[in-house]
């Protein structure tokens, strides 16, 4: 382990030295996230800490927003150049957010789960029939997953009730004081509640393999004026994913400041979530179709667009 840290540090130092000798500075890119402490978005910290973005000539500033709505405001105002975000950006491109979806980031929504209280009467997924599940908002991914779970169980879309209770800081109290029977929450959040003896994940979504949960976006300005920087970022990002898959212990160490996960929980999250991370960024047409149809179900779109370009693969390595 000590040797790998030494080699990593030496590699990053060499990049800095070469840059200084050749008289150029790394290109600065501001990358937005909707939730910087989530494991999937903390992988950005891995690329920074391992020196991978520096090796690609980039100086990355991670900018964390409180949710996808504020992230889109940041993109619209020019506060960020690119983002690692949720799949709703595919819909917001249609709605006019000045960005382009340039890579598929993660497939199945393994980073979310349905969490129930330890002291409740829900012992198995079937016990959720007719229960109230807390979700972020009516048109959120968490809302869709509650509906998808109900459909999967054969109950139709009315098999569970949805309560719109906001993000984790309001969802967890709502669960614990029994305002709702369950919540759709980050997988790592469920594990943290489990470690405290309060609640536990009871339903995962790793079977939704034909789906796109997270994407990478670039601002229209960056795409038009600096397309090579989009390519550099994507090459560095997918090098980061490959590096993380091969260096579990170092990845857990590098995400810790952002996630505050214990090594034990981080290890479980790594094993559960990394397999869903794309190593190529390519868009599976069937996954795109299922994802866009989920937007229609939620009301983010009235119909599946037939003549609108939702994404591009031209910047991928």
Question: Residue 29's pLDDT is what?
Answer: 97
Same domain, 151 and 247: no
Q: Give the tens place of pLDDT for each residue, 71-110.
A: 889 999 999 999 999 999 998 888 888 999 999 999 999 9
Q: Give the tens place of pLDDT for each residue, 216-248.
A: 999 999 999 999 999 999 999 999 999 999 999
Q: Which of 163, 189, 204 is the last residue of a domain?
A: 204
Same domain, 193 and 237: no
For 163-167, 225-229, 286-290, which range has the lowest pLDDT when averaged over its residues? 163-167
CA dist 114 and 305 (Å) reads: 31
Q: How many residues does the chain have?
A: 317
Kindly report the CATH number assigned to the domain that includes residue 148: 3.40.190.10
Same domain, 16 and 102: yes
Query: What separation, in Å, do the N-terminal and C-terminal C-alpha atoms of the chain show?
Result: 30
Same domain, 184 and 251: no
Q: Is residue 76 part of a domain?
A: yes
CA dist 172 and 167 (Å) reads: 9
Q: Which of 187, 204, 221 is the last residue of a domain?
A: 204
Task: Give how many domains the chain has, as a whole number.
Answer: 2
Same domain, 167 and 250: no
Q: Is residue 311 part of a domain?
A: no
Contacts of 80 (CB under 8 A, 6+ apart): 30, 31, 32, 63, 71, 74, 219
Question: Is beta strand 82-86 parallel, antiparallel or unpaired with respect to 27-33?
Answer: parallel
CA dist 176 and 174 (Å) reads: 6
How crowded is residue 120: how many other Cβ atoms within 10 Å of its Cβ?
Answer: 15
DSSP states of 122-141:
--SGGGGTT-EEEES-TTSH
Q: Is residue 306 part of a domain?
A: no
pTM over 0.75: yes
3-state class (DSSP) for residue 15: helix
Same domain, 102 and 247: yes
CA dist 51 and 240 (Å) reads: 9
Same domain, 248 and 102: yes
Question: Residue 68's pLDDT is what?
Answer: 80
Tell me which residue range forms the domain holding 17: 2-108+211-298
Q: Which of 204, 224, 250 is the last residue of a domain?
A: 204
């Amino acid at each position: 382990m000590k040797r790998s840290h030494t080699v990593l540090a030496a590699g990053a130092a060499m990049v800095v030295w070469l840059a200084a000798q050749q008289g150029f500075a790394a290109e600065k890119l501001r990358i937005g996230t909707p939730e910087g402490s989530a494991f999937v978005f903390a992988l950005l910290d891995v690329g920074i800490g391992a020196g991978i973005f520096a090796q690609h000539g980039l100086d990355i500033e991670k900018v964390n927003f409180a949710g996808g709505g504020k992230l889109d405001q940041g993109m619209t105002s020019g506060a960020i150049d690119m983002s690692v975000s949720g799949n709703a950006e595919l819909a917001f491109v249609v709605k006019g957010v000045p960005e382009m979806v340039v890579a598929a980031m993660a497939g199945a929504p393994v980073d979310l789960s349905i969490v129930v209280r330890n002291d409740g009467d829900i012992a198995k997924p079937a016990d959720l029939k007719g229960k109230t599940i807390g979700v972020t908002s009516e048109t959120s991914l968490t809302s869709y997953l509650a509906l998808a779970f109900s459909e999967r169980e054969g109950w139709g879309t009315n098999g569970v009730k949805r309560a719109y209770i906001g993000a984790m800081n309001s969802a967890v109290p709502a669960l614990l004081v029994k305002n709702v029977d369950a919540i759709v929450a980050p997988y790592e959040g469920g594990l943290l509640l489990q470690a405290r003896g309060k609640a536990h994940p009871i339903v995962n979504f790793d079977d939704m393999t034909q789906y796109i949960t997270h994407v990478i976006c670039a601002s229209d300005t960056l795409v038009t004026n600096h397309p090579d920087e989009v390519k550099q970022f994507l090459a560095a990002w997918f090098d980061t994913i490959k590096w993380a898959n091969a260096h579990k212990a170092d990845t857990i160490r590098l995400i810790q400041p952002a996630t505050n996960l214990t090594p034990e929980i981080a290890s479980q999250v790594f094993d559960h979530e990394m397999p869903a991370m794309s190593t190529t960024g390519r868009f599976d047409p069937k996954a795109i179709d299922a994802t866009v149809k989920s937007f229609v179900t939620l009301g983010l779109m009235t119909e599946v667009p037939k003549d609108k370009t939702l994404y591009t693969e031209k910047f991928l390595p």
